[in-house]
Structure 1
């Protein structure tokens, strides 16, 4: 007698409201990512105008990460206690205020303080958005969702950075921050008016107070590996990106006028790489995509950090390949790690994970500032040393992500075992 096969879970297409959520979260991420990324191309302008050293500029980048780390830890205990929509609006308003303060900065110390304020609020936004995505979308669709949301990275490259650089070249380095604060009002208003409350997690939250909830999440042995892996994940971008524009101009021989084309063309390809990485993550496996992206990124980093004078077309081609690897790593790793926490811990887990990421990224940026020195001719020295450090961290991260993948697979298999389909779908843990 044939045994009845368990019902196969369908892969429903996105509803109209789900498309809206993906789009608005991507728009919001665009403003947050642009605020961080704009510091890199502005480095070539900021260092001479504010008369600061590479080490000081490294701190101007890293204080954002340090303050974001602190706020993430402080917010973690409360992250599952409130409607996620309200939390998102609160922190986003603070982020816009911080960005406006950056635009008003008149000296290095004012800018440093403004970056701290921006980080206190901006650092939590990504974790709240991740918790919303994990609440609303099952693991079998989460790769595609992450791919579309991470397109914000490409949009910031194509539209944000070139426009910001043009404004900076014409009106001064303050203008890109005014642009971000102004454009950032749009997603904030739309979220306040049209996004539905996200409160399902409140029904299964049993911890009596935020500190108890924070303590339980931090002490959960099943989450420790994810936090450690995130530590290495942040190293690459925070080490290389802050000095990218200065390296391009002083070492590769590009001009300030070349940077909009460099970032813009590279970003256009990110429109393709983000969704493609998400599709492949759901189709062939998230860890396989992560490994492929890591290997590609390591090869490109080895080439890029050892370049001398290089034609613009060659630099653009190398950057396109670099972004292909980065997007594959970002999308696949985010989707994998999002499956680790239990539903009642998602907000706290994402906040702590974001804090770990920001802390490690801040330390990496500060370390990069100490490794990099400026030669008499203005060229950055020891950039290849950063490349070696980044490649070593990527290799270690690839090994650690293997065990993350094993942990996720065991969890999904256990959850999907003999339980009713409705219960599986309710927890949004569906076998790929």
Structure 2
């Protein structure tokens, strides 16, 4: 009979930090995701092609990827709170420019600026999580933070769509700016410095630090898996609203309801997936979620005109797999870097995700074409491509899981202590 799991204790401050990081992710993810449901509106109002819309999406991704690579060498040399504030401020400015963009060219420029700052924020947040929370509770923490993805659907996207329908497509971006200013004030007033990693001295200059991070085989395996993990969202989501309206047969007014129902289910599934990943293992959950995701993705992308209730059910099932994959892969990948490399690794990993996602979005814009009646052609081909990448990531994440398991076993052996221990604290400050 196995011993009972040690009780996990989160302090009030730790709970507040988890909530704050989730809210930060909410604003950044919403800024990216709101473009997808606005796709049908932007194609018409800005009189642009699907390929041009693909560039609007990928411009953010390419600039975000470039910023991550440029800052990776410096990411472990500063207090993570200060880095977070700097890039979050730039993100707010970029989003404001999106909110006042008068045409396609200005919007494209604004998305580049937003990506330069916003694309780095996620990696800083994940570095903070890895610094502050132990491996055995990281799935739970990631599960809560990843609910930002779902919350952006439940709260942000429907509200954004209603505002866009009533006031124009600029309104959602201005709403994000207003919320982000409040979040930024909370960072300033409440978050403590996150600088224990600065005690791990390194003689490498930023360029050497970057070179060291991109040359380690175990790190490279993580970057390779991230390349394919990013493909699904960037290929399918940019054209999701146009596909739903023109191919599945729902109306512009019904679209917020679809996102809301899907998001509510994802808010419930995210924390559950986090706890499940800590209980049964990060990789087993990733495996099951990927197999499920492959099946539902192919089904969804081959649908024609479909009743609204069926679309909502299939979307819930699809995003259940997506949420479980995001939570389990995020927790698993967080175990790859050493403490002194976390900022650099997370920054490069974010860059790889954004750049590969940008390429995927650009390719999707070239594959999908809009017929005279507005319907999207060859969307099913995207589904098969995404399913294929899921199959490959199952193998790649198995190898990563093997590496991380060996690393965790070695660390546990070094830190072995008497069997009788007090409850495990969720906090894993590097200074302890």
TM-score in same-fold range (> 0.5): yes
Deviation, 1:9, is 8.8
Aligned partner of 1:79 in structure 2 is 75
- Deviation per CA, 1:135-167, whole angstroms, max 9, x where unpaired? 000010000000000011111110100000000
Q: 1:390 aligns with which of 383, 386, 407?
A: 386
**2:232 matched residue in structure 1:** 236
Q: Deviations along 1:116-147, whole A, 9 cap, x unmatched?
A: 00000000000000000000000100000000
What CA distance in whole angstroms lies between the structure 1 residues aligned with 2:316 and 2:342? 34
> What is the 5 A alignment of 1:349-360?
349-360=345-356
Flag the 1:203–1:168 CA change in 2: closer, same or farther, 3 A: same
Is 2:197 aligned against 1:198? Answer: no
CA contact (8 A) 2:10 2:425 kept: no
The corresponding residue for 1:326 is 322
Answer whether contact 1:61 1:362 (CA < 8 A) is retained: yes
Give 1:426 deviation, angstroms: 12
- For 1:339 and 1:138, how far apart are their aligned partners in 2? 10
1:47 lines up with 2:43 in the alignment? yes
Query: Do 2:14 and 2:427's aligned partners in 1 also have CA atoms closer than 8 Å?
Result: no
The answer to whether residue 21 in structure 2 is matched with residue 60 in structure 1 is: no
Aligned ranges 1:28-39 → 2 under 5 Å: 28-39=24-35
Per the TM alignment, residue 215 of structure 1 is displaced from its structure 2 partner at its CA by 1.1
Per the alignment, residue 166 of structure 1 pairs with 162
Cα distance, 1:317 vs structure 2: 0.4
C-alpha displacement of 1:12: 2.8
Whole-angstrom CA distance in 1 between matches of 2:10 and 2:51: 46
Asked if the contact 2:246/2:374 (under 8 Å) is kept, the reply is: yes
Alpha carbons of structure 1 residues 9 and 266: separation in structure 2 relative to 1, 3 Å: closer
Taking structure 1 as the reference length, what is the TM-score of the superposition?
A: 0.95
Correspondent of 1:124 among 95, 120, 126: 120
CA distance in 1: counterparts of 2:53 and 2:244, whole angstroms: 16
Local SS of the residue matching 2:254: helix
Give the alignment partner of residue 178 of structure 1, picking from 174, 191, 202.
174
Q: Deviations over 1:89-118 (max 9, x none)?
A: 000000000000001100101000000000
CA distance in 1, matches of 2:57, 2:335: 30
Q: Deviations over 1:18-57 (max 9, x none)?
A: 0000000000100000000000000010001100000000
Of 95, 107, 120, the residue aligned with 2:91 is: 95
1:2-41 equivalent positions in 2, closer than 5 A: 10-41=6-37
- SS of equivalent to 1:167: helix
Instruction: Please state how far the C-alpha of 1:205 moved relative to its aligned partner.
Output: 3.1
Aligned to 2:137, which of 120, 135, 141?
141
| Whole-angstrom distance in 2 between the partners of 1:214 and 1:228 | 17
Deviation, 1:420, is 4.7
Q: d(CA) in 2 for partners of 1:370 and 1:73?
A: 27
Work out the CA distance in 2 between the residues paired with 1:114 and 1:320: 32
Q: Secondary structure at the match of 1:161?
A: helix
Report the CA distance between 1:409 and its aligned residue.
0.5
Cα offset for 1:219?
A: 1.2
Q: Which runs of 5+ in 1 are unaligned?
A: 1-6
Moved over 4 A (4+): 424-429
Change (3 A) 1:411 1:9: farther
- Kindly indicate whether the alpha-carbon contact (under 8 Å) linking 1:34 and 1:156 is maintained by their aligned counterparts in 2: yes
- SS of 2:129's partner is helix
Q: Name 1:369's counterpart in structure 2.
A: 365
The SS at the match of 2:68 is helix
Counterpart pick for 1:275 among 271, 278, 282: 271
User: Where do residues 237-316 of structure 1 align in structure 2 (5 Å cutoff)?
Assistant: 237-316=233-312
Q: Report Cα offsets for 1:59-104 as digits up to 9, x if no partner.
A: 1001100000000001101100000000000000000000000011
1:187 aligns with 2:180: no
Could you list the per-position Cα deviations for residues 291-342 of structure 1 after superposition, in whole angstroms to 9, with x for gaps in the alignment?
1111111111111000000111111001000110000000000000000000
Whether the 8 Å contact between 1:81 and 1:205 is mirrored in structure 2 is: no
Alpha-carbon RMSD across the aligned residues, in angstroms, is 1.8
Displacement of 1:271 after TM fit? 1.2
**Residues of 2 paired with 1:292 and 1:416: CA distance?**
27
Q: Is the Cα contact below 8 Å between 1:81 and 1:202 reproduced in 2?
A: yes
2:247, 2:383 → 1: CA distance? Answer: 15
Q: Superposition pairs for residues 408-427 of structure 1, below 5 Å?
A: 408-421=404-417
